[in-house]
Amino acid sequence: MNRETEVLVRLIDASSILVSSLDLGDILPRGMETIKTLLRCEAASIMLLDEANRRLVFEVALGDKSEAVKKITVPLGEGVAGKVALDGEPRIVNDVTHEAFTASVDQRSGFTTKCVLCVPLMMKGRIIGVAEAINPMGKTAFNEADGYLLSLFANQVAMVVEASRMHIQIVARRRMEDELNFARQVQESFLPHEFPSGDIFSFHGFSRAAREVGGDFYDIFPLDERRIGFTIGDVSGKGVPAALFMAKVLGQLRFLAQKHRDEGGPSLVLKELNSSLAERHSENMFVTLIYGVFHSDQRKAVIASAGHPYPFVFRSAKLAWEQKIVTNGLPVGVAPEAEYYDTGLELSGGDMILMVTDGVLEADRDFNEKKILMILTDIYSAYRGQKMIAESLIKDFSRFINKHNPSDDFTMLALSGK
């Protein structure tokens, strides 16, 4: 094989090795070995730039003392490689006796450097590392043709290093997306898909987790033929930890709601929920929530609130919305000894109880409780005497909040009397 053919064959070899996988630990040493053979030199290496620490780190080192060399890092601007990495100019130094840094590296590695050929690894105008060939065999100096060959190889190395880094980023991003999807699924699996209704009442709810997986939830579950438990809440924080904490809260709440359905009222359920969560949790999370029981035979709901925004109530007798100020207890999970209080709410035909999370109250900077009452009054007026039921109110109100703030979480739950 003449030299020209050899160059061509080796370059094609190196090139096929470099594109054969994204595992840099496998392809770079093999590709470099091919080039080392082609350049007929004693040692060869690839160093990548650690931008944070402004140093070159050996990715590949081939030659007698490669293990010792790999432990060394090169500060940007020091030695031949450090200078190439700083200004991006390829260098051939056929007499390194004046290079103090090279001498110190040799002292540590036990290798004797005579000639250095070094080219930058460039990606979109950025220097990401260098490739180096050391001590030509059978001749006393590297020449420009050697420099050209190493540059051809370096260009390809730069591309595969970049591709591999992008691949790693994509995999990491996908893993995070998977986690968020998991959290979203956990959260969605807890939202009821059917809303109970009867001759004199109907429930409806809506929850939107927009930007990240939110910590909002609501739930409606029968306690017996006459009574229905309902809750709406907001876990501090977002993402997987919030979703798991929410799962724990809802699981415990359902259990305690059944356990205490005949005694104590919702306040006792919250008190026990709080003491079990506040004593044994280290997630530094808390939850604001309302838990209530609707007594269908008495047209009455009893609610207890743990630091949650006050509910809005529509009274058909007055044809007006008002905010029901209830006696709040601390959010659940803050202090084990917190107290909670029951509040009774009558639900005549045409009445409505609307509970929201703070995403509704903060949907707009100008929003406050008064503004919300005005919006609800406008929505009611649009019915022009037709019956306002939970489902239609939630649809109209959520559409309005959506329009004002398309990026935050919010949740609402309504109970209407027929």
Which residues lie near other proteins (CB under 8 A)? 212, 215, 234-238, 284-286, 288, 307-310, 328-331, 334-335, 358, 368
Q: Which is nearer to other proteins, 116 or 355 (CB)?
A: 355
What is the Cα–Cα distance from 291 to 274, expressed in whole angstroms?
12
Task: Return the closest-CA partner of residue 31 out of 60, 63, 71.
Answer: 60
Least Cβ distance, residue 133 to other proteins (angstroms): 46
210 C-beta neighbours (distance < 10 Å), count: 14
Least Cβ distance, residue 236 to other proteins (angstroms): 4
103 C-beta neighbours (distance < 10 Å), count: 14
Task: Return the closest-CA partner of residue 333 out of 252, 417, 391, 259.
Answer: 252
What is the Cα–Cα distance from 339 to 269, expressed in whole angstroms?
11
Q: Which secondary-structure segment (H or E) carries 276?
A: helix 265-279
Q: Which is nearer to other proteins, 147 or 237 (CB)?
A: 237
Q: Which is nearer to other proteins, 212 or 322 (CB)?
A: 212
Q: Which is nearer to other proteins, 153 or 291 (CB)?
A: 291
Least Cβ distance, residue 292 to other proteins (angstroms): 17
Q: Which is nearer to other proteins, 82 or 237 (CB)?
A: 237
Residue showing tokens 């029981």: 293
Q: Which secondary-structure segment (H or E) carries 133?
A: strand 126-136
Q: Which is nearer to other proteins, 91 or 308 (CB)?
A: 308
Sequence-distant contacts of 401-407: CB under 8 A, at least 24 apart: 401/359, 401/360, 401/363, 402/208, 404/363, 404/364, 404/367, 405/359, 405/362, 405/363, 405/364, 406/210, 407/210, 407/211
Least Cβ distance, residue 416 to other proteins (angstroms): 24
Least Cβ distance, residue 235 to other proteins (angstroms): 8
Least Cβ distance, residue 114 to other proteins (angstroms): 51
Q: Pairing between strand 312-315 and 320-323? A: antiparallel
What is the Cα–Cα distance from 308 to 95, expressed in whole angstroms?
77
Q: Which is nearer to other proteins, 116 or 235 (CB)?
A: 235
C-alpha triplet 318, 320, 323: angle, nearest 5°: 120
Q: Which is nearer to other proteins, 157 or 330 (CB)?
A: 330
Q: Pairing between strand 73-75 and 91-93? A: unpaired
Residue showing tokens 């905010």: 323
Computed on alpha carbons and rounded to an integer, the radius of gyration of the chain in Å comes to 35
Q: Which is nearer to other proteins, 127 or 345 (CB)?
A: 345
Six token digits for residue 12: 């094609």
Least Cβ distance, residue 341 to other proteins (angstroms): 11
Contact by Cβ (8 Å): 82, 56: yes
Least Cβ distance, residue 239 to other proteins (angstroms): 9
Task: Return the closest-CA partner of residue 187 out of 248, 137, 140.
Answer: 248
Q: Which is nearer to other proteins, 130 or 338 (CB)?
A: 338
How far is C-alpha 356 from the chain's CA centre? 26
Least Cβ distance, residue 176 to other proteins (angstroms): 15
